[in-house]
Amino acid sequence: GAGVSQSPRYKVAKRGQDVALRCDPISGHVSLFWYQQALGQGPEFLTYFQNEAQLDKSGLPSDRFFAERPEGSVSTLKIQRTQQEDSAVYLCASSLAVDRGNTEAFFGQGTRLTVV
């Protein structure tokens, strides 16, 4: 399809397990964002890539969270030693433009992570 694709759609992890969440952005999109959305809350910014460069990781909640986009396309968000508070929907978004203001971002369906 032409949209942002995330996999898996659902993930159940045991506490302490490592997980990897994948995002396939729209082809040719330069910018890529990860957000975390807890139940009943708005999405919270985690990190931002421009091509392969991670320009902003100010929203990553701890050093257990790591994101990469090695070839400037597919991105992976990795969470090490998962905790119950990591349970949330993880959203990926991509946008074509680099322009500071005029940026329409397209979101994927998200990955729902449940840590038990």
- 96 scored as a contact of other proteins (CB under 8 A): no
What's the one-letter identity of residue 49? F
* DSSP symbol at 27: T
Site for other proteins in 14-33 (CB under 8 A): 31, 33
Structure tokens at 115: 């840590």
Site for other proteins in 67-86 (CB under 8 A): none
- 42 scored as a contact of other proteins (CB under 8 A): yes
> Apex CA 72: angle with CA 22 and CA 96, to 5°?
95
Minimum separation from the CB atom of position 81 to other proteins (A): 27
Quick one: 26 or 80, whose CB is closer to other proteins?
A: 26
Torsion of CA 28, 38, 14, 65, to 10 degrees: 50
Quick one: 56 or 85, whose CB is closer to other proteins?
A: 56
Q: What residues form DSSP beta bridges with 103?
A: none
Quick one: 17 or 107, whose CB is closer to other proteins?
A: 107
